[in-house]
Amino acid sequence: MRIYMYLVIIACMLAAYVSSPDVGLAPGVVKFLPDLLSVCTVIYVLMAGTRQRFRHVGVKYWLIFAALTFAIFSGALINHEAPGAVVNGMRYYLRAIPFFLLPAVVEYNEEDLKHFMYLILALSLLQCPVAAYQRYTVAENNQFSGDPVIGTLMISGILSLFLISVLCVMGSLMVRGRVGKIWYACCFVALVLPMSINETKVTIFLLPLALLVTFALAARPGRRIPVTLSALGLIVLGAALFVPLYNYFNTLHNPMPFTVQDFLTDNSMFNTYMNKPAGVGTGEEAGRSTALLAPFQQLGHDPITLTFGLGLGNVSVSSLGTQFSGQYATLYWNFAHDLSLSMFIFEIGLFGTLLILLLHWMLLRDAFYVMRRDSGLLGALAPGYIGAWVTTTVGLVYVTVHTFESLSFMFWFFSGLIAARRMHLERDKAPAPVSLQPALAVPNLGFR
């Protein structure tokens, strides 16, 4: 299954990009490769899990998945939803979940995990030259927006969230002595550059938060102050890269130029970004807080609809065709297409949304458990996972995290590794081995 996971990682980070019309390196059908791999994973998990009786999946997760299934089908039945919209919704909401269950039925050793992380890092570093070329193309066409700077992950916001998560995991391993400091510093610079030239404003807030959380948790007792100071040094380095690049490209060919300083200090600019009004059914882009409040304003008159939503996929536009698009897509798509949390409330209601947030909370608790009790690679990785968890969970109010396989597949796979490891630790009732594999000979070139 190691080779299979290589294929999954490559597919979720490259398939949509190489098959896009602008790139054209592969037929358009290749973009569905992650979906096909998800189906294959479902079949394998069911076969292997049935034989093992899913003994490494906690009861709490079965309960939460059962409750989510009830919420999903209740919304579909209440709204008499068309089958096509349900299929489209299930595709986006559920296709990453098999990768959460996969580590419960396949025992990956530390060598496997190292190779997975090597591949993810290599593909992450690939984003730098790809993003630089995309930025060059934007400038050559006398454009100014950083939105087309997407790397291979198809949207600039997802690119930034993904790279922040990678830096968190690497930072955790660096603090625990498994990644060389010089190697981490080089990767840090290389991965901050795409975030700077794609002008994602969330980086200003989320990169410092995620790094501080990661480094503080990864530090051993008695080392938290110097480790936190090193995180602050990295944040200063990141700002030294991000601010000048952002300011330069955002003022190049921009009829209404502004800088990072303007965005942070000009209340009217920040309020416009957050509270930009948009009418129902107009297709106008809504501000972040406007989009988040919209489902409460539109569904609040009916407690049942607010509780269970308008139906899975019923506010979504489908790439599979109009027959798979939701009944309410033309009305509410401009509010829901940018924020997972807004889409959750619209489609599966408050009940389903609270269940998803509860699921995220359970994952966080498992990560803390593994971090405190596992002395192997996953224990060293767990603080970085928590930083990535912060990035992904906050990202729910920034982009539609669940619709992009690059971030969602990897988040749920590593969540599954953490959850399965907790089950192992609870069953064994004994400390984990220090390492299942020998350290690498050259510490500055990878994960020891």
Looking at residue 439, its pLDDT comes to: 40
pLDDT level of residue 359 (50, 70, 90 thresholds): very high
Question: Identity (one letter) of the amino acid at 143?
Answer: Q
- In a domain? residue 281: no
- In a domain? residue 373: yes
Number of Cβ within a 10 Å radius of residue 35: 15
Domain count, the chain: 1
Q: Render pLDDT for 291-346 as a digit per residue (tens, 0 to 9).
A: 999 999 999 999 999 999 999 999 998 877 778 888 999 899 889 888 999 999 99
* Cα separation, 282 vs 302, whole angstroms: 23
Q: Render pLDDT for 82-101 as a digit per residue (tens, 0 to 9).
A: 999 998 899 899 999 999 99
> By the 8 A CB rule, do 174 and 185 touch?
no
pLDDT level of residue 436 (50, 70, 90 thresholds): very low
Q: Render pLDDT for 209-262 as a digit per residue (tens, 0 to 9).
A: 999 999 999 998 888 899 999 999 999 999 999 999 988 888 877 777 778 888
- In a domain? residue 234: yes
- In a domain? residue 235: yes
- In a domain? residue 166: yes
User: What b-and-e string marks burial along 371-409, b requiring 16 or more CB atoms within 10 Å of the CB?
Assistant: bebbebbbbbbbbbbbbbbbbbbbbbbbbbbbbbbbbbb
- In a domain? residue 280: no
pTM over 0.85: yes
How much is the mean pLDDT over the chain?
A: 90
> By the 8 A CB rule, do 331 and 280 touch?
yes
Q: For helices 267-275 and 288-299, give the axis angle rounded to 10 degrees.
A: 40
- In a domain? residue 305: no
Token pair listed for 441: 């000979």
pLDDT level of residue 285 (50, 70, 90 thresholds): confident
Q: Which domain holds residue 350?
A: 2-267+339-445
- The whole-number average pLDDT for the span 4-12 is 96
> By the 8 A CB rule, do 405 and 346 touch?
no
